[in-house]
Chains A and B, each alone.
Chain A
Amino acid sequence: MISPLRPAPPLLLLLPAMALVPVLVALPFLVHGGGWDLIAQFLLAALHPSLDPLVLGSALSGLGVTVAIALLGWALSLALGLGAGLLSSRTLWATAWGLRWPAELIRRLLALPRSIHELLWGLLLLQLLGLQPAVAVLAIALPFGALVARVVADQLDALPGARLEALRAAGAPAGPALLTALGPALLPGVISYGGYRLECALRSATLLGVFGLGGLGTDLRLTLQSLQFNELWSGLWLLLATMLVLEGLVRLLRRRWCLPNRFGAGASGVGRRGREIAFLILLLLPLLLLQARAIGVDPMVLLHWNPLPNWGTSLRPAEVLALPWASLVGQTLGLTLLAAALAVGLAPLLLLLVAPWPWGRVLLQLVWALGRLWPPPLTALLLLFALKPGLVTAALALGFHNLGILGRLLLEAAEAAPEGAEQALAVAGTGPRLALLHGRYSALARSYLAYGAYRSDVILRETVVVGLVGAAGLGTALLEALSSFAWDQLLALMAVYALLTLVGEDLSDRARRRLLRCP
């Protein structure tokens, strides 16, 4: 029985958009005097990117570095993640050595690198190793590797054990038995997830550049701060083209190899495509080596650690305790919820608004693509031209970025959903918006919201990247502690932040399971 006053799935999908109301109420108080002309100039410059060969050359070489960092960081994270994932699999330990506790222990330990955002890794490694291309690569590889490890271990342990038992009972040794029984079943999910991580790696490499770790991101930030909007757009359009090509390629391969997409599972096995995959991996290896040489990644630098400045004199527990912990944590949570609600709620709302016009959808796709590739701290800096710094400004920047990611997923899911119900409504005279809401949103509401729950957990981790607009909770405090070499505060802040993201991860997991379980 459906009880009264329970929002139906399509309505549930629109509820997060209610977060717009407080934002719109707060907006007039956030606007400061000028700056609108700058924003207008920025938007107009999109139509006139600089075509100066010098600018284009610099943007291209920056893009090359960013792509190389992304590829290297991604490849390293896959290698690390596969290894760590196997090591933290309960099935593997139980089959090979008859133990379970080491898997649990490694799993717990991997939660730590996962809970720290790649930007923090980057800034920390920067202090330890100096400005090196290897820093950005490692900053991506460490947290991404831990994320991949979790997915690998979870998938491995979720596979039915009967096949493995059958092989073991027939006398196969542990290694070959595991490989034969679980390998082929594991591959589609891991490759599909790996493709998604590559898209993430490109975004992260750009972001790290914004904070000075090299590549196109650095150019973007410098041109924005010196108000050279035409030059800024040259870089942005190049980055957009690269990202769209990469996304298209990943989608193409996912389809060609019949891999599951991110909404729902259901892989049909890699089958005959196995040879193509192996060939592609072999092709990738020399490419990676070449790129590592081209941008000067030197693994040996990892052995030379710089002493941290101020290390000995900075342990003052009283000052650590004096930090306004309650408000820092409160702001971080507020920022996360607001940004997540904006991103999750606005995507279906906007798609609904443009439903009657086919070109509206194309325009939306373009804006979303820009949101995805445009690093949130740059959006925040841009918003600061017209808005005061603060939590809402940070939430808008973070929300816009994640809107780009969620919007694309929603559109993909909407296009994959069966069209019958929507068509039936349209033929009976229902308007295009209401037909979309009832006919298509109903079917995908739960899986979309479940993905939104996962995304909120990512957003919590990402709040640090908009820390630079101030009043954004732990992220702001962290960046301040880093730049003033207050290591004691930094460690305490990072510990609290890590704890918060672990709790957040658990909560979003529960929310996701609940959403997917309900009929």
Chain B
Amino acid sequence: MNLSPVLELTGIQVPGRQQPRLCDVSLRLEAGERVALLGASGAGKSTLLAVANGLLVPEFGRVLWEGQPRSRSRRLSRRQQARIGTLWQDLRLIEELSVQQNLNAARLAVWGWPRALLNLLVPVETAACAAALERVELEPALLGQPVTALSGGQRQRVALARLLRQEPLLLLADEPLASLDPRLATELLELLLRQAEAPRALLLSLHRPDLLAGFDRVIGLRQGRLLFDGPVADLQADTLAQLYAEGP
């Protein structure tokens, strides 16, 4: 049984041009936790997520994934990276490939070249891909479609299915609901929250405080600093107002 937190940040500092993008941020994410990240534009939400998925190496501070730091070469190991899944705001689907090939792209970290090349030639691991689609409530018949043929909502779900097919332990999502209409946004959020059960953990950045219902915990960032970290119920209206207040 692994008792270390899924993600542990201590004293993270990321310099910026005028003010630091992150300043002395510490947080722990335990297995099964669903955490919403709130803050105005430019508060450091995307930077925090980039630190969490290993894309950004902070100037100061320590990042542990399942209790493990980066290797000495400052890179994450393949295995570590495969366990961190990111749902990108722009989805980052590969437009020229089919839905199935996109879903299988999530397995490239563990596949060798032969299977990777085969995936570009014939349908590979159809059952697992169909299962991933069903988990996001899409028809398996879509597997053979090029992703360019999908609707906006379908694309969101395919991106989520790809994330699930990666089987990550840590789910990160950078404003996944930003460009969605209210109905699609609630549907996608429900799907995401349902997938984040122990041992998984979810960290999702949001700009809409009205969608906090399904989360266990909220983290509030303001100008790169941690302003609030606690249960959703403890988030008071004045804290919220402070998070989105203008000026220093």
Contacts and interface: CB of A to CB of B under 8 A. Distances in A.
A2 B122 CA distance: 10
A238 interface: no
A425 B109 CA distance: 8
A427 B86 contact: yes
Contacts of A430: 105, 108-109
Interface in A427-451: 427-431, 434-435, 437-439, 442-443, 445-446
Nearest to B92: A424
Interface stretch (B14-22, B74-82, B186-194, B231-239): B74-82
Interface string B72-94: 00001011111111101010111
Given A420-B88, A427-B53, A5 B121 contact: yes
Contact of B145 (A2, A443, A445, A446): A2
A5 B145 CA distance: 14
B96 A431 contact: no
Contacts of A11: 117, 120-121
B97 A428 contact: no
Most B CB contacts (10 A, CB to CB) among A6, A424, A428, A437 go to A428
A7 interface: yes
B30 to A, nearest CB: 22
Given A8-B96, A11-B117, A442-B96, A424 B108 contact: no
B199 interface: no
A519 to B, nearest CB: 7
A519 B148 contact: yes
Given A11-B117, A421-B92, A429 B148 contact: no
A425 B144 contact: no
A445 B120 CA distance: 13
B214 interface: no
Q: What interface size band does chain A fall in?
A: 20 to 34
A519 B168 CA distance: 32
A228 interface: no
B63 interface: no
A7 B121 contact: yes
Contacts of A437: 116
A334 interface: no
A428 B84 contact: yes
Contacts of A425: 105, 108
Most B CB contacts (10 A, CB to CB) among A1, A4, A421, A443 go to A421
Contacts of B121: 5-8, 11
Interface in A1-60: 1-2, 4-11
Contacts of A10: 96, 120
Contacts of B82: 428-429
Interface string B143-164: 0111010000000000000000
B198 interface: no
Contact of B97 (A8, A427, A429, A435): A8
B92 A420 contact: yes
B185 to A, nearest CB: 22
A67 to B, nearest CB: 42
Interface residues of B, number: 41
A365 interface: no
Contacts of B123: 4
Interface string A329-350: 0000000000000000000000
A95 interface: no
A442 B95 contact: yes
Contacts of A6: 121
Most A CB contacts (10 A, CB to CB) among B80, B98, B120 go to B120
A155 interface: no
B206 interface: no
Given A8-B121, A428-B86, A442 B81 contact: no
B94 A7 contact: no
Nearest to A433: B113
A6 to B, nearest CB: 8
Contact of B109 (A2, A8, A428, A442): A428
B106 interface: yes
Contacts of A426: 81
Nearest to B104: A438
B187 to A, nearest CB: 23
A438 B88 CA distance: 17
Given A2-B145, A429-B79, A442-B97, A424 B117 contact: no
B205 interface: no
A4 B98 CA distance: 11
A5 B122 contact: yes
B13 interface: no
A427 B55 contact: yes
A421 to B, nearest CB: 5
A442 B95 CA distance: 8
A423 interface: yes
B144 A1 contact: yes
Contacts of B86: 424, 427-428
Contacts of B92: 420-421, 423-424
B101 interface: yes
Contacts of A445: 96
28 contacts: A4-B123, A5-B122, A8-B101, A9-B97, A11-B121, A421-B92, A423-B92, A424-B88, A424-B92, A427-B53, A427-B55, A427-B81, A428-B84, A428-B108, A428-B166, A428-B168, A429-B76, A429-B79, A429-B108, A429-B110, A430-B108, A431-B109, A434-B116, A438-B108, A442-B96, A443-B94, A443-B95, A445-B96
Interface of B: 53-55, 76, 78-86, 88, 90, 92-98, 101, 105-106, 108-110, 113, 116-117, 120-123, 144-146, 148, 166, 168
Interface of A: 1-2, 4-11, 420-421, 423-431, 434-435, 437-439, 442-443, 445-446, 519
10 A-B pairs with least C-beta separation: A429-B109, A429-B81, A429-B82, A424-B92, A11-B120, A430-B108, A8-B120, A442-B96, A9-B96, A420-B92
